[in-house]
Amino acid sequence: MGSLPLDALQPLDPDTFAADSSAVIDFLAGYYRDVDKYPVRAADLEPGRLRKLLPEAAPEFGEPAERILDDVRRDVLPGLTHWQSPSFFAYFPMNASAAGFAGEMLSVGLNVVPFMWVASPAAVELEAVVVDWMARLVGLPDRFLFSGSGGGGGGGGVLQGSTCEAVVCTLAAARDRALGRIGHEGIVKLVVYASDQTHATFQKGARLVGIPPANFRVVPTAAASGYALTGAAVRAAVEGDVARGLVPLYLCATMGTTGIGAVDPVRELGEVARRHGMWLHVDAAYAGAAAICPEYQGYLDGAELADSVSMNPHKWFLTNMDCCCLWVASPAALTAALSTDPEYLKNAGGGKPQAAGAAGAIDYKDWQISLSRRFRAMKLWFVLRRYGAAGMRAYIRRHVAMAEWFERAMSADERFEVVAKRRFSLVCFRLRCGGDVMNRELLAAVNASGRAFMTHFVVDGKFVIRLAVGGAMTEMRHVRDAWELVQRTAEQLLQRRV
């Protein structure tokens, strides 16, 4: 494991590989043992700290793995925000697991590139199988499966890196279908719809594919509908645009918005989308994981009216970054917008079978933005095999129960109010008095303590604090500690005020 002489660089020598990798495993096992001792949010918030510690240029000669790991421990760890800390409650979880890690190691170690079927048949087929497994687990209709209950489902899925990629690909599919009808100059007439709760990546994605920013409709939501879109509001917006000669293109519904976990009514929106020939996408990035439990599948009622659905196993499904499932009802619409067929990929030297279009022989490069891609299926497959559907359901329910406990504790303390209904593992709350200023101070003090990390949102003009439960190591005691920390910090702020 020492430094390597130049003439003997053997980058995949099995013994060096095993020795270096074992050192990393020990490092990470130690990290998991100690992770709750680190301040959750990076303690050192001085920009440029790490740059000052590192040389201006890469080293000329190689170094042993241990020396690099020592530097990671000394220089890098203190500057990280620890997403795997059991007291990380910020944003949405991005949880890791031994199984997600093992699957990713296999994928990274095999380092095959399943961009075309022939370039790694089994990797492509495992992906097609595992997206079908996930579709069944979350209760999607057969139309999103390669292999439906009565044979071919007609649709299919792909593993991408993020919801934004999924949105860009489906927007491009919808756009090209529309432009095929009205001509490319019609691009300035295309309108997309979302709510004021929809994730910002949707707006970014729409802009990326050339939709004019002026044609991005933000439909307002209100407390009365639980901050969900209503069919009536979308219909009104669409009809106004149609009357002005514009072309409704795409509607994004969300199961579990980022701000407060709101759920848009899929069936109601699907009917509006159908009537106006719009593509309906359901973004279930975070809360889609909960739909593996029957008690949450009602939120996807009406999904048969959607054109595409996405959810991120890398958020709340124990699958290390990155992994986003995108299912489409019409693979042909997707590949029409995304396929390329250059000479150097044709038939891969005569090896591609005649039955290229047959079930399984998918060229996933035509289902995504990039040509190259990682073997993500191995990771999701490993998680599903290692923990099983029952294990994953128990895991999701445990997090929901912890969030419920936090919500109850908060509701019983008259100094606080819970803002918006909790549906999954996200609780939004604020101090009743002191206004936004004191609530901002509360959050800043909680985060500065290093004992927990939460983020915020603004609902109806009010600053609210978000606590999202979902860490792989988060247990009841961490949620209880977080509640005590919030209480104690609030007390100090309120006393100071008196």
Query: Which of 39, 87, 118, 262 contacts its own copies by CB under 8 A?
Result: 118
C-alpha to C-alpha distance for 310 and 134, rounded to whole angstroms = 11
Q: DSSP alpha helices (H): ranges in 65-210?
A: 65-71, 98-110, 121-137, 163-182, 200-208
**Subset of residues 364 to 423 that bind its own copies, contact rule: CB under 8 A:** 369-374, 378, 382, 384-391, 394-395
- Residue 112 or 494: which CB sits closer to its own copies? 112
Query: Which of 151-159, 317-325, 408-416, 481-489 is the region at the interface with its own copies (rule: CB under 8 A)?
Result: 317-325
Give the per-residue contact string, 328-367, with its own copies (x = CB under 8 A; - = no).
---------xx-xxxxxxx-xxxxxx-xx-xxxx------
Query: Taking the CA of residue 474 as centre, how many other CA atoms within 13 Å lie in the half-sphere pointing to its CB?
Result: 39
- Residue 261 or 302: which CB sits closer to its own copies? 261
**CB 438 → its own copies: shortest distance, Å?**
12
Nearest to 161 by CA among 355, 348, 374, 329: 374
Give the per-residue contact string, 14-33, with its own copies (x = CB under 8 A; - = no).
xxxxx-xxxxxxxxxxxxxx
Q: Where are the beta strands (DSSP E) in 96-228?
A: 147-148, 151-152, 156-160, 190-195, 216-219
Q: Where are the beta strands (DSSP E) in 314-407?
A: 324-328
Should residue 325 be labelled a site residue for its own copies when binding is judged by CB under 8 A? no
Query: Which of 36, 38, 87, 126 contacts its own copies by CB under 8 A?
Result: 126
The pairing of strands 147-148 and 151-152 is antiparallel
Query: Which of 9-17, 293-301, 400-408, 419-427 is the region at the interface with its own copies (rule: CB under 8 A)?
Result: 9-17
| Amino acid identity for residue 333 in this structure | A
Cβ distance 337 to 420 under 8 Å? no
Give the per-residue contact string, 234-253, with its own copies (x = CB under 8 A; - = no).
--------------------
Cβ distance 307 to 280 under 8 Å? yes
Cβ distance 453 to 86 under 8 Å? no
Query: Which of 151-159, 207-215, 223-231, 265-273 is the region at the interface with its own copies (rule: CB under 8 A)?
Result: 207-215
Q: How far is CA 238 from CA 78, 182, 241, 304, 464, in A?
A: 50, 18, 5, 21, 31
- Residue 245 or 349: which CB sits closer to its own copies? 349
The pairing of strands 216-219 and 190-195 is parallel
- Residue 472 or 485: which CB sits closer to its own copies? 472
- Residue 128 or 409: which CB sits closer to its own copies? 128
C-alpha to C-alpha distance for 312 and 314, rounded to whole angstroms = 5
Cβ distance 139 to 297 under 8 Å? yes
- Residue 118 or 272: which CB sits closer to its own copies? 118
- Residue 189 or 268: which CB sits closer to its own copies? 189
The pairing of strands 308-311 and 279-283 is parallel
Query: Which of 143, 177, 199, 281 contacts its own copies by CB under 8 A?
Result: 199
Q: What are phi and psi of 4, to 5 degrees?
A: -105, 130
**CB 17 → its own copies: shortest distance, Å?**
4
Cβ distance 386 to 126 under 8 Å? no
Percentage helix, strand, coil for the chain under 3-state DSSP, each rounded to 5? 50, 15, 35
Query: Which of 87, 170, 203, 230 contacts its own copies by CB under 8 A?
Result: 203
Query: Taking the CA of residue 482 as centre, how many other CA atoms within 13 Å lie in the half-sphere pointing to its CB?
Result: 32
Should residue 455 be labelled a site residue for its own copies when binding is judged by CB under 8 A? yes
**CB 340 → its own copies: shortest distance, Å?**
4
Give the per-residue contact string, 263-302, with its own copies (x = CB under 8 A; - = no).
----------------------------------------
Q: How far is CA 301 from CA 63, 219, 280, 397, in A?
A: 56, 22, 14, 20
Adjacent-strand bridge partners of 464? 457
**CB 441 → its own copies: shortest distance, Å?**
8
Should residue 76 be labelled a site residue for its own copies when binding is judged by CB under 8 A? yes
**CB 12 → its own copies: shortest distance, Å?**
4
Query: Which of 36, 99, 256, 333 contacts its own copies by CB under 8 A?
Result: 99
C-alpha to C-alpha distance for 203 and 193, rounded to whole angstroms = 9
- Residue 280 or 384: which CB sits closer to its own copies? 384
**Subset of residues 473 to 492 that bind its own copies, contact rule: CB under 8 A:** 473
Q: What six digits make up the tokens of 10?
A: 């053997």
Cβ distance 27 to 72 under 8 Å? yes
Applying CB under 8 A, the site for its own copies has a residue count of 186
- Residue 39 or 270: which CB sits closer to its own copies? 39
- Residue 90 or 427: which CB sits closer to its own copies? 90
The total of other beta-carbon atoms located within 10 Å of residue 163's CB is 24
- Residue 276 or 365: which CB sits closer to its own copies? 365
Query: Which of 36, 38, 82, 328 contacts its own copies by CB under 8 A?
Result: 82
**CB 130 → its own copies: shortest distance, Å?**
8
